[in-house]
A and B are shown apart, each in its own frame.
Chain A
Amino acid sequence: MLLSLRRYTRDIPGKARDAPRFRSRFVTVKTEKLFSQCRFPLPSWDSRFLLRFASSHNFLIEAFKPACSISIKFSDGKTRKRVPIKRENGQTLLAPLFRNQENIAGKITIEPHQGKRIEHNGVKVELLGQIEMYLDRGNFYDFTSLVRELDVPGDIYERTTYPFEFSMVEMPYETYNGVNVRLRYVLKVTVSRNYGGSIIEYLNFLVHNYSPPPSINTSIKMEVGIEDCLHIEFEYNKSKYHLKDVIIGKIYYFLVKIKIKTMDIEIRRRESTVTGATNHVETETLAKFELMDGAPVRGESIPVRLFLSPYELTPTHRNINNKFSVKYYLNLVLVDEEGLRYFKQQQITIYRLPLQDT
């Protein structure tokens, strides 16, 4: 084998001791906890978002005691697929699922309480696509905003139902809940009033977009190492995986002169957000999967088979509305007996195949 063909990447050569930069990155990862954690239960939904969502909803209903109740029903609500979102308290929230350029139609029912009369300046429904950046004081950016006027100003005496329809709605981005950013779609019904404040009702729904299997899907294969110390070649069968895919691969040991204790593969999500001029990157380790136990010798080939389905992954998002990106990496980590870590990270693309919503 020709030496010139090898690529000793700049990313990891040398022990971590020599490269504290890399080491410090791992401080945020609670290794032990992840290590001992069993992978069977699904990782929980991001709690921050859910809590916020729930409280705003309840607040409006409970605290202000609005004069009427507003309910939003999709016309295909019975048949439409609902995606469960598991919350930490065990409750499951089912949200209807849509895809890009679908018609979103339904009925909005307004029922005044105790026969009250509701005087209003008009009733409207909005379909909003919003990106919320937590680091930007929770500002919303609406990338999609469609309005339908349901009623002219007047009074509502009794239960009134308004049909609505948004046809062929452009929803190019998927719903996403990240560490620093979320992208959500919501229907907002507003009963405008001069006094007492407007009565507003929200309904969240999810959007998933599907991609066909990529026509080109090359494997990832690379030789890495530390001169005269460690020399491995890893190979993953593809560079693009769908959400329920399996990563098949192997790690071949050309040379091992250090005592390796374990080898893990990690799936890391890198969420980069742009707030004004600053760029913020948040990295999470979503999966830590032990590939090898003990010290291999020269010539060993260690198999990789990692099922993606147990992990809560999303498709890769590239530069969504110039606000954020979500990228996935496979990180191969070798730990020697002294606890030093050696790793090599490779980006993979994750996409969503149709019928992979659960």
Chain B
Amino acid sequence: MLLIGAEDEEKWLAEGIAGIQHNAFYLHRALDSNNLRDALKYSAQMLSELRTSKLSPQKYYELYMRAFDELRILEMFFKDESKHGVSVVDLYELVQHAGNILPRLYLLCTVGSVYIKSKEAPAKELLQDLVEMCHGVQHPIRGLFLRSYLAQISRDKLLDIGSDYEGDAETVMDAVEFILENFTEMNKLWVRMQLEGPGRVREKREKERSALQELVGKNLHVLSQIEGVDLEIYKETVLPRVLEQVVNCKDDLSQYYLMDCIIQVFPDEYHLQTLEMLLAAFPQVQPTVDIKTVLSRLMDRLSKYAASSADVLTEFLQVEAFTKLSNAIEKVIEMQVDMPAVGAITLYVSLLTFTLRVHPDRLDYVDQVLGACVKKLSSIPKLEDRWATKQLVALLSAPLEKYNDTVTALTLSNYPRVMDHLDNGTNKVMAMVIIESIMKNNTCISTADKVEVLFELIKGLIKDLDGATDELDEEDFKDEQNSVAKLIHMLYNNEPEEMLKIICIVWKHTMAGGPKRLPFTVPSLVFSALRLVRQMQGQEGDIVGEEVPATPKKIFQLLSQMIEALSAVPSPELALRLYLQCAKAANGCDLEYVAYEFFTQVFVLYEEEIANSKAQVTAIHLIIGALQRMNVFNVENRDTLTHKTTGYSARLLKKPDQCRAVYACSHLFWVDGQDGIRDGERVLLCLKRALRIANAAQQMASIARDSSGPLTLFVEILNKYLYYFEKGNKQITAAAIQHLIELINTEMQSDSATSDAFLASTLRYIQFQKQRGGVMGAKFESIKL
């Protein structure tokens, strides 16, 4: 009996429909022959089918709709007095003779609507009568459908009387009263459905009820459509009455749906003007109601409304919308003790969105919202709930999106406190979001304080947080750290002093990050510092003699620390490069000892840390390149360094590497420029040595592989010869070049190697120079190909 099979239900529905069709047939016949008595008889019989208790709301609805269609036809018949010859007044009495209440009331409503339309009696009285008489049906489903029929059939008349007589406030009120009354009763019936039947079918019942919610909500919809309902009526009558019903019904499904309905159905303007009243209802609803969604939707609507035009914004200020909303949320959270964190956070997100849209200039509001959120979360150190976390991220992202200037977020004192509640993973994600926002907007963060705050915010990326044991994805980690590196470049201030402070702060934070992170962050920081150095170099004149905290020396000290830390990681190759960069900068600042110190570090690193031969080759070339550019060293120091360099070059593992390094070393003794060193002899020495090595290499190759050796080495050396020859190195003679070319040719013939493109173009170059004439042409003249 309780768990009715769907099959049985189908059967009952079919029986009901058959009953309706059967009686409708006779009803039509009666209507065709204008027989009122039969029409009433058969319509009553037809409507008796609606008295069933066996159907679920969905099935009952099907049945109802069938009857409804027939009633429309009957209504047309009632309207036409010439057909039945009974005045509408008499008709109104006549239908009330029916013995069964349900058919009686359906017919009464049908005639009633005709009666109202005829305007033979005051609409107010009729409406009052109809809505009152409907009390007779107390069965929830039947009552709901009956009243819904009443609402439906009277709808157009209500809209008429609610809107037709403009200025006649009384008629409008009549319509409003009627709808409110009907709405109240329908809601009561709807709520009562929940109480019917045993508890175990509760879920099913809720589902059934949800299917019927629109019947109840329809009333509110009609109310909103009546033009006569202006703000005043809404404020004085409609809203208080509806809210009273919502609060008093103490049913969560109903409260949720109706609150949502109110918000969706009535204009935003009304909501704004009645905000206080509306919000006052929220804390009063049942604790199980999903109030956050409703409230969020309200704020969403309001904020959209605020965005719609500038004029309405002043209204928002007038009614102090923010304060009211904020208070309401606080109260709701206070009342609903069991509300999960996610609920509260969702509310704050909505409030924040609202604030950002409506009061973009009020950062204090934003901070206030965040502060309230922190307060709510104070009992939970870290959020575990996935949804809550998601909402919290949304909360934190909102200000970033709104204020393109990320710096704004940094001034929110509660921002980092909210972030603290995120779990480590999410914290990182959030930090990334912040960084991305900065990058996207190209925001320059220019004070040490802000930097401090910022690094506090993104500390999840900067260092290992407590208890972070989870295995990191390598790619993610790289991404994160690269972002941090990028971020460092965004920290910039024109004032060297402030900039130094910034650098110090960043260094302090990055240092805490441990060896894993340093290789990513230190380079950025170093270059950032070097930029500062160069900047100061330009202004040096101004600051001489003053006791300034920011001097290049100091910075270099700091840099040295940084790179040292890096080399301890160990990441020697990177450290080496950075040292070289620093050395160059020191060179620019004319700080010989500093530069020398850096070079020392470079060599130490080379000796102690760089064991890989490939790395060594790269390192040597870097060193050569850097050293060649140094002009700050005195002869002695320079000799030491160049000597060291050539020595290392010659001791590389592979012969070709040796060869190349050695001929590169030749540049150390020949620097272009005014006071550059031009030690032609040592250049020649280097080149000759390179030739020897190339020779040896070739021999080794021919023995080992019985094939053509590295002829390219010779061509490369030839190019060096040509270079110095052109530069006017007296030690490099045309004869030497001639000799080298011949040597190459011989080698080529003996190896029967194919013609080498590099060689060919080199030779072509010589030919070109020869033909060019002039000084250079003359110089090349002696070379014979």
Residues of A that sit less than 8 Å from B by CB: 34-41, 287-297, 300-303, 305, 307, 309-310
Our pick among A288, A295, A302, A303 for the contact of B99 (Cβ within 8 Å) is A288
Question: Contacts A301-B135, A307-B97 known; A293 to B102 CB distance under 8 Å?
Answer: yes
Contact B99 A289 (CB under 8 A): yes
Contact B135 A302 (CB under 8 A): yes
Q: Tell me the minimal C-beta distance from A305 to chain B in angstroms.
A: 6
Cβ contacts under 8 Å, A291 to chain B: 101, 136
Q: Tell me the minimal C-beta distance from A65 to chain B in angstroms.
A: 43
In the complex, A296 Cα to B44 Cα: how many Å? 24
Cβ contacts under 8 Å, B192 to chain A: 297
Cβ contacts under 8 Å, A294 to chain B: 137-140, 142-143
Q: Contact mask B84-101 → A, CB, 8 Å, 1/0?
A: 000000000100111111
Question: Contacts A291-B136, A294-B142 known; A307 to B96 CB distance under 8 Å?
Answer: yes
In the complex, A289 Cα to B37 Cα: how many Å? 19
Give 5 new A-B contacts, CB below 8 A, not counting A294-B138, A303-B132, A303-B135. Answer: A38-B98, A293-B142, A294-B139, A294-B140, A295-B139
Question: Contacts A38-B41, A291-B101, A294-B142 known; A300 to B96 CB distance under 8 Å?
Answer: no
In the complex, A231 Cα to B102 Cα: how many Å? 25
Contact B97 A39 (CB under 8 A): yes
Contact B136 A303 (CB under 8 A): yes
Closest to B141 in A: A294
In the complex, A291 Cα to B40 Cα: how many Å? 19
Contact B136 A293 (CB under 8 A): yes
B11 within 8 Å of A by Cβ? no
Contact B98 A39 (CB under 8 A): yes
Provide a sorted-by-A list of 27 A–B residue pairs whose CB atoms are within 8 angstroms. Answer: A35-B100, A37-B99, A38-B44, A39-B97, A40-B37, A40-B40, A40-B41, A41-B41, A288-B99, A290-B99, A290-B101, A290-B104, A292-B101, A292-B137, A293-B101, A293-B143, A294-B142, A295-B139, A300-B138, A301-B135, A303-B135, A303-B136, A305-B96, A305-B133, A307-B97, A309-B97, A310-B97
Cβ contacts under 8 Å, B51 to chain A: 293
Most buried by A among B98, B142, B188: B98
Question: Contacts A38-B99, A307-B97 known; A302 to B41 CB distance under 8 Å?
Answer: no
B424 within 8 Å of A by Cβ? no
Interface of chain B residues 116 through 159 with chain A (CB within 8 A): 132-133, 135-140, 142-143
In the complex, A293 Cα to B146 Cα: how many Å? 12
Contact A292 B136 (CB under 8 A): yes
Question: Contacts A40-B97, A307-B93 known; A292 to B138 CB distance under 8 Å?
Answer: yes
B427 within 8 Å of A by Cβ? no
Cβ contacts under 8 Å, B138 to chain A: 292-297, 300, 302
Q: Contact mask B49-70 → A, CB, 8 Å, 1/0?
A: 0010000000000000000000
Our pick among B44, B97, B100, B135 for the contact of A300 (Cβ within 8 Å) is B135
Q: Tell me the minimal C-beta distance from A92 to chain B in angstroms.
A: 16
Cβ contacts under 8 Å, B41 to chain A: 38, 40-41
In the complex, A287 Cα to B132 Cα: how many Å? 23
B45 within 8 Å of A by Cβ? yes
- Enumerate the 3 nearest inter-chain pairs by beta-carbon distance, A residue then B residue, closest first: A294-B139, A294-B138, A290-B101
In the complex, A292 Cα to B137 Cα: how many Å? 5
Cβ contacts under 8 Å, A39 to chain B: 97-99
Q: Tell me the minimal C-beta distance from A66 to chain B in angstroms.
A: 42
Closest to B45 in A: A38
Most buried by A among B45, B100, B102, B133: B100
In the complex, A44 Cα to B100 Cα: how many Å? 20
Q: Tell me the minimal C-beta distance from A33 to chain B in angstroms.
A: 12
In the complex, A288 Cα to B102 Cα: how many Å? 14
Cβ contacts under 8 Å, B99 to chain A: 34-35, 37-39, 287-290
In the complex, A75 Cα to B758 Cα: how many Å? 152
Closest to A37 in B: B99
In the complex, A90 Cα to B132 Cα: how many Å? 39
Closest to A36 in B: B48
In the complex, A302 Cα to B192 Cα: how many Å? 17
In the complex, A303 Cα to B45 Cα: how many Å? 23
Cβ contacts under 8 Å, A307 to chain B: 93, 96-97
Q: Tell me the minimal C-beta distance from A332 to chain B in angstroms.
A: 14
Cβ contacts under 8 Å, A289 to chain B: 99
Cβ contacts under 8 Å, B37 to chain A: 40-41
In the complex, A289 Cα to B132 Cα: how many Å? 17
Contact A290 B139 (CB under 8 A): no
Closest to A291 in B: B136
Q: Tell me the minimal C-beta distance from B15 to chain A in angstroms.
A: 15
Interface of chain B residues 169 through 210 with chain A (CB within 8 A): 188, 192
Cβ contacts under 8 Å, A309 to chain B: 97
Cβ contacts under 8 Å, B45 to chain A: 38
Cβ contacts under 8 Å, B142 to chain A: 293-294
Cβ contacts under 8 Å, B101 to chain A: 290-293
Question: Contacts A39-B97, A40-B41, A294-B140 known; A303 to B133 CB distance under 8 Å?
Answer: yes
Closest to B44 in A: A38
Cβ contacts under 8 Å, A38 to chain B: 41, 44-45, 98-99
In the complex, A38 Cα to B26 Cα: how many Å? 15
Q: Tell me the minimal C-beta distance from A90 to chain B in angstroms.
A: 15
Cβ contacts under 8 Å, A305 to chain B: 96, 133
In the complex, A155 Cα to B101 Cα: how many Å? 67
In the complex, A292 Cα to B97 Cα: how many Å? 15
Our pick among A34, A297, A302 for the contact of B136 (Cβ within 8 Å) is A302
In the complex, A296 Cα to B196 Cα: how many Å? 12
Contact B96 A293 (CB under 8 A): no
Most buried by B among A287, A290, A296, A297: A290
Closest to B140 in A: A294
Contact A293 B98 (CB under 8 A): no
Most buried by B among A39, A287, A294: A294
Q: Tell me the minimal C-beta distance from B130 to chain A in angstroms.
A: 11
Q: Tell me the minimal C-beta distance from B576 to chain A in angstroms.
A: 88
Cβ contacts under 8 Å, B135 to chain A: 300-303
Q: Tell me the minimal C-beta distance from A304 to chain B in angstroms.
A: 9
Q: Tell me the minimal C-beta distance from A239 to chain B in angstroms.
A: 22
Cβ contacts under 8 Å, A303 to chain B: 132-133, 135-136
Q: Contact mask B599-641 → A, CB, 8 Å, 1/0?
A: 0000000000000000000000000000000000000000000
Contact B97 A293 (CB under 8 A): no
